[in-house]
A and B are shown apart, each in its own frame.
Chain A
């Protein structure tokens, strides 16, 4: 069941019209209205890396500024900004993937015999229910393919509809539904793996 695309809000419509009309203050209003949400979305999509998030958010709004006049208003302003941010995040992960391939792996794992801090590892059985839930879920998220992570965050954190997500990720709603199914299953698998240690 594909949800209908909610119409842009009145405020969105007014801001977008002002953008298309060339009102120089419209972009500032859009920035003020959506910066925090866009930043939070990007921050969670890049493993809470502050520097990377700032780079992408900066690029997102500058790109939005450039393309504002081409925006047809077929989605909400937030969905439009999310779509730009999604592609910037995708660019980031593609760059990162290329850099990783160039890197020489050399992880040195030492056995640390620290007499003063024994047993710092939490017990697996208590991982999810402990205060470290956030850390465990983040660890599970970080192990997922990046598009799995994006669709889960858009769906369950941003509470977007499948239709909205399809606009953000530029994929069909059917494709988004399949991606959501695989992503949920993958997340469950990762969480169970962490529980079992």
Chain B
């Protein structure tokens, strides 16, 4: 079955591919005429053999001799009719063709006149020059001046003494008109490439013509550019590459239409020499005002020796006013040139150059800045560090290559700074400083000195910690009591006395300690200078007075951290003399329960007044208060039922929170409580209570009162049991 299916499929395909074809009517009619004529020709239409025709052969026998002669005659000269074949035309070109025909059975005794009729239809209209033929065989005639792509009819014509006979009509079609193309020339001829140009002058019979170029080192070409289709006349070009430098190349344009391709004339060009190639590399600084220019010869091209050098100047893109480093190179590699005397910070531009055996070539332009030296700067220790201000210091150690250097300070709470002082322009090295203001008290600040010249530099990071702000007012007490107090006013003016402490010893050795009126436990007093003014009178000769700054602890013991000795003051007179001194006080911390304090000791002074002033960083603000928690008591409950009860408490003290005390109860079936009942705020001592519900009968409940103020106070745990 499969085989049958295959056969059926083949039959179907072949019948589809080979449909019935029809000959041209002219050919069919012409050949028929030829067949009919030759069928009717003597000898062609022979009678039946006489032995098959009894009625004929008997009379014929009587004239056998004559018949023999006739038979011989017809066999020799008329055994077959003249056969005129119009054969296929050959040599068909665009405008020329060769017509072919054949004469068979041409009687040897007869000359015939042979020609071809031809034309664009079967009326012909044209005829080749007649020729006389006495022999049969092939007949040819050449036609010229034909129209391209045109079908011509033709037939062989024979004229003998019996008239005119024709072979069958045949046709041929001339070839298409070829395109016309011209080789125009070559342009952009380099060492390895060129652009070829041609012109398509006519399309011929083709709607589109493929154009290209053939090229090579001789007239055999050997290469062809890519074919491009063109639907109209005009110029066309193609770039060829991969050529050998300094070599002659042949080329010609090619146009390919429907027929044979046509070519333009052969032309030649000669490739140029290959130039060297060079790269400009970045310059490298070799010192203040000097650099090394760098370049690289990446190819010598076709030259054996290449001269390389640099051009440089101050204008981008040139003109370059200087050249440097000219040298000959015979191989690829880097080359350099040193430049000096450059202006620091000025922009310079340069290119690497190379010259082989043609025009010089240049690398890409690069630039550099005249080498500079940055300034140098150091950060110094701060001075005048107060609660809200400080003076920071720096030293400009070097100017670098800049004539003017800007200096300033960066400062802030972290090493990222964030603030800076106003820059100051300096023409020479030296110290500089700036006052920072608006600082926060008791705060650590970072700062560093900065210099900007040919480059920005900064000194090391340093820190300073501002002092605490002074209280607005303080009262100093002699010992623990207020009996010998003196009020002190702080005006912010350090020249004013801030405390005047009186000492009366009636000529006996004495030692008194004054303490500030504000607790300052835990307070850190930084290092500072306290100014002391001593007013004394009736001091025995040779006596000394000692003034000490420090702290008293919670037992009244004085702890000195700075001392000034006023020695040899006494002259036994009653006059009052004034002595002044600055006491350098080490940093110290006031112990718990203690006070900052001043102690004055003498041996025999009768009366002395000590005025204390100086740095405003020795007392903190605001005033420090020791915290005091409230006091609370849990009272017995009232109105206990199966499910309800009234809890009671008593606020015994409010402490020193400065605001109301909040009270509540905690309650539950154990001392872990678990429930809370907020009562509210109380501004004074007194009883408070809360009614609780949803209790379980016959159940024991615990509760306690709680007060929250400057600390939390708890009353004692109490319990009650609901009735069953």
Point out residues on A near B: beta carbons under 8 Å: 21-28, 31-32, 35-36, 39-40, 43-44, 48, 50-55, 57-59, 61-62, 65-66, 69, 108, 110-117, 133-134, 137-138, 141, 152-153, 156-157, 184, 187-188, 191
Contacts and interface: CB of A to CB of B under 8 A. Distances in A.
Interface stretch (B28-36, B131-139, B284-292, B450-458): B28-36
Nearest to A136: B17
A157 B16 CA distance: 9
Given A24-B45, A36-B22, A39-B21, A62 B172 contact: no
Contacts of A65: 35, 38-39, 44
Contacts of B31: 31, 35, 57-58, 61
Interface residues of B, number: 53
Interface in B229-273: 229, 231, 256, 261
A43 B17 CA distance: 12
Given A23-B45, A58-B34, A112-B210, 7 more contacts: A24-B40, A51-B171, A61-B31, A69-B46, A110-B256, A113-B229, A117-B229
A153 B39 contact: no
B651 to A, nearest CB: 102
B32 A22 contact: no
Nearest to B83: A62
Contacts of B20: 36, 40
9 contacts: A25-B39, A44-B21, A55-B88, A62-B38, A108-B261, A113-B228, A114-B229, A116-B229, A116-B231
Contacts of A117: 208, 229
Contacts of B11: 156
A133 B16 contact: yes
Contacts of A22: 45-48
B15 interface: yes
B23 A138 contact: no
Contacts of B14: 137, 141, 152-153, 156-157
Interface string B44-79: 111110000000000000000000000000000000
Contact of B10 (A25, A108, A187): A187
A48 B21 contact: yes
A117 B88 CA distance: 36
Nearest to B48: A21
Nearest to A42: B21
A178 to B, nearest CB: 15
Nearest to A48: B21
Contacts of B224: 110
A55 B87 contact: yes
B212 A110 contact: yes
Contacts of B212: 110
Nearest to A37: B20
B18 A44 contact: yes
Contact of B32 (A31, A50, A112, A152): A31
B676 interface: no
Given A23-B45, A137-B16, A54 B229 contact: no
Contacts of B227: 110-113
B168 interface: yes
B13 to A, nearest CB: 5
B27 interface: yes
B409 to A, nearest CB: 72
A40 B47 CA distance: 33
B6 interface: yes
A77 B662 CA distance: 138
A43 to B, nearest CB: 4
Contacts of A111: 226-227
Contacts of B86: 58
Contacts of A134: 16-17, 19
Given A133-B13, A152-B10, A184-B10, A28 B231 contact: no
A114 B44 CA distance: 60
B170 interface: yes
A112 B172 CA distance: 30
B35 A61 contact: yes
Nearest to B85: A58
Interface string B195-210: 0000000000000101
Nearest to A152: B14
B252 to A, nearest CB: 14
A113 B226 contact: yes
B565 interface: no
A130 B44 CA distance: 52
A4 to B, nearest CB: 20
Contacts of A115: 228-229
Nearest to B212: A110
A54 B39 contact: no
B526 to A, nearest CB: 89
Contacts of A59: 85
A31 B15 contact: no
A193 to B, nearest CB: 15
A58 B32 contact: no
Contacts of B172: 51
Nearest to B9: A188
B80 interface: yes
A181 B523 CA distance: 122
Given A112-B210, A137-B14, A141-B17, A39 B87 contact: no
B7 interface: yes
Nearest 4 Cβ contacts at the A-B interface: A137-B17, A114-B229, A24-B45, A43-B21
Contacts of B6: 184, 188
Contacts of B24: 50, 54
